[in-house]
Amino acid sequence: MEKNRSCFLDANAILRYLLGDIPAQYEQVKEIISYRQCITSLEVIAEVVYVLTGIYSVNRKECAKALHTFSKEIIILYPDVLKFALCEFESGSLDFVDCLICGYHEVFGIDVVTFDKKLSKRLDALM
């Protein structure tokens, strides 16, 4: 691995880092984050949220807090969308992907076409 090259973290690497449940893998990811520029995407973060809340039963508030802290350690593509989505997720009842959609709407002013009544109601409230 070249130290000066960026690396992309997938959901499994992020989960090992956040959970610390497999010490060797936690240490490996921790070391990589400490000396390389690491990047991930909102799609990967959505998978992390799904696993943390659905498999590990982490509550919404703790999940959002952990990801907010983590997002300061690496580069997240569309960080303002993530920040908005985490706030929505922590305080609301939408699933995380819908929170991301609200984030895209809020940050970029993108109109959203949906038949999801709960999401539509939230989008209307943001206007």
CA distance 25 to 36: 16
Q: What is this structure's pTM?
A: 0.93
Domain count, the chain: 1
Q: Tell me, yes or no, whether 72 lies in a domain.
A: yes
Burial-class residue 81 by CB neighbours within 10 Å (0-12, 13-18, 19+): buried
What is the CATH classification number for the domain harbouring 92? Answer: 3.40.50
Q: Tell me, yes or no, whether 91 lies in a domain.
A: yes
Domain that holds residue 81: 7-126
**C-alpha triplet 91, 97, 61: angle, nearest 5°:** 30
Q: Tell me, yes or no, whether 104 lies in a domain.
A: yes
Q: Tell me, yes or no, whether 1 lies in a domain.
A: no
Q: Above 80 in pLDDT, residue 12?
A: yes
Q: Above 90 in pLDDT, residue 3?
A: no
Looking at every residue in the chain, the average pLDDT score rounds to 96
pLDDT, one tens digit per residue, over 74-113 is: 999 999 999 999 999 999 999 999 999 999 999 999 999 9
